[in-house]
């Protein structure tokens, strides 16, 4: 029997499965090329990313979720200093290999969209930035977790996550009310092939396994646009962002909570 989620169209049409979709609109040093023209080697001049990210962040705050209202002044400073740092580092990082560092993410669970997710990362933490990171962690009463890699705010769940680099992948520690409630290990799976055939696999960029002591999930990351029947709830903000900035979501993570069959080779 052909499994319904072998292609994206079926994945969306089939109501049997509960889906979690996370759509990241993320910015990175190669934002211009990555989002607009895939094959350029351009490194836009100083000030570009600051101007673009500030515009995007301000607009998103106004349209969907006002992070600035929910952030403490320390958190707000941290976000803006990350933007400044992205702008600085973009001048010397290879635009082809730069990592995503600023993500606005929309979560879709069933028919409910949550907009209040922001993820920032700092693969290197220069002194100026470290000061802001330390101050935020201190205000959260979280002890130094070692080599911090990123922070994610999920306001609608009232959670924050700290990401750190550990052996073999990323570790995500989730905090709620300043207490750690969960710890996940993110591991990118290599040599993965879906059961059936490669219809869906064509759009797959990567598959992640996310494990905690209690549970384990798998995510498919893709840049493939879903079918016409793509959930109208999420389509509307995506169209709006596309009209406003000329941007398309760059990465979509799909999760099937019940049955996700992945074979390893």
- Angle (CA) 25-27-31 rounded to 5° is 115
CB of 37 to another protein, least distance (A): 5
Beta carbon nearer to another protein, 55 or 261: 55
Q: Which of 13, 51, 181, 262 binds another protein (CB under 8 A)?
A: 51
Q: Which of 46, 123, 126, 168 binds another protein (CB under 8 A)?
A: 46
Q: Which of 106, 192, 247, 253 binds another protein (CB under 8 A)?
A: 247
Beta carbon nearer to another protein, 142 or 224: 224
Q: Which of 1, 47, 92, 264 binds another protein (CB under 8 A)?
A: 47
DSSP-derived secondary structure for the chain: ---GGGSHHHHHH--SS-EEEEEEEEE-TTHHHHHT-TT----PPTTHHHHHHHHHHHHHHHHT--HHHHS-HHHHHHHHHHHHHHHHHTTTS-TTTPPP-EEEEEEEETTEEEEEEEEEE-SS--HHHHHHHHHHHHHTT----SSEEEEEEEGGGTEEEEEEEETTEEEEEEEETTEEEEEEEEEEEPSEEESS-STTGGGEEEEEEEE-SS-EEEEEEE-----TTS-HHHHHHHHHHHHHH-----EEEEEESS---EEE-
Size of the site for another protein (CB under 8 A): 29
Instruction: Tell me if 228 contacts another protein by CB under 8 A.
Output: yes
Residue whose pair of structure tokens reads 């490669």 in the numeric block: 198
Question: Taking contact as CB under 8 A, which single stretch among the options 46-54, 151-159, 162-170, 198-206 is the one that binds another protein?
Answer: 46-54
Instruction: Tell me if 40 contacts another protein by CB under 8 A.
Output: yes
Q: Which of residues 137-166 bind another protein (CB under 8 A)?
A: none
Instruction: Tell me if 112 contacts another protein by CB under 8 A.
Output: no
CB of 31 to another protein, least distance (A): 8
Instruction: Tell me if 64 contacts another protein by CB under 8 A.
Output: no
Q: Which of 1, 15, 41, 111 binds another protein (CB under 8 A)?
A: 41
Q: Which of 8, 56, 79, 106 binds another protein (CB under 8 A)?
A: 56
- Which residues of this chain interact with another protein, rule CB under 8 A? 31-33, 35-37, 39-48, 50-52, 55-56, 59, 228, 239, 243-247
């Amino acid at each position: 029997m052909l499994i319904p989620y072998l292609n994206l169209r079926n994945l969306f049409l089939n109501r049997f499965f509960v889906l979690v979709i996370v759509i990241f609109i993320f910015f990175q040093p190669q934002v211009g090329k990555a989002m607009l023209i895939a094959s350029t080697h351009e490194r836009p001049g100083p000030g570009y990313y600051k101007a673009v990210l500030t515009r995007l962040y301000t607009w998103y705050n106004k349209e969907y979720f006002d992070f600035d209202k929910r952030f403490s002044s320390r958190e707000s400073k941290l976000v803006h200093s990350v933007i400044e740092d992205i702008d600085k580092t973009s001048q010397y990082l290879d635009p082809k290999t730069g990592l995503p560092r600023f993500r606005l993410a929309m979560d879709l669970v069933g028919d409910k969209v949550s907009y209040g997710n922001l993820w920032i990362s700092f693969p290197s933490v220069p002194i100026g930035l470290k000061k802001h990171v330390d101050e935020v962690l201190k205000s959260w009463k979280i002890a130094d977790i070692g080599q911090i890699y990123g922070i994610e705010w999920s306001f609608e769940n009232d959670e924050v996550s700290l990401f750190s680099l550990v052996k073999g992948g990323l570790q995500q520690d989730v905090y709620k009310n300043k207490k750690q409630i969960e710890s996940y290990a993110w591991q990118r799976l290599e040599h993965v092939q879906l059961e059936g055939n490669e219809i869906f696999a064509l759009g797959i960029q990567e598959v992640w396994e996310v494990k905690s002591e209690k549970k384990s999930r798998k995510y498919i990351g893709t840049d493939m646009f879903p079918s016409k029947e793509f959930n109208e709830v999420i389509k509307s903000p995506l169209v709006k962002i596309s009209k406003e900035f000329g941007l398309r979501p760059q990465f979509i993570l799909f999760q099937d909570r019940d049955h996700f069959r992945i074979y390893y080779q």
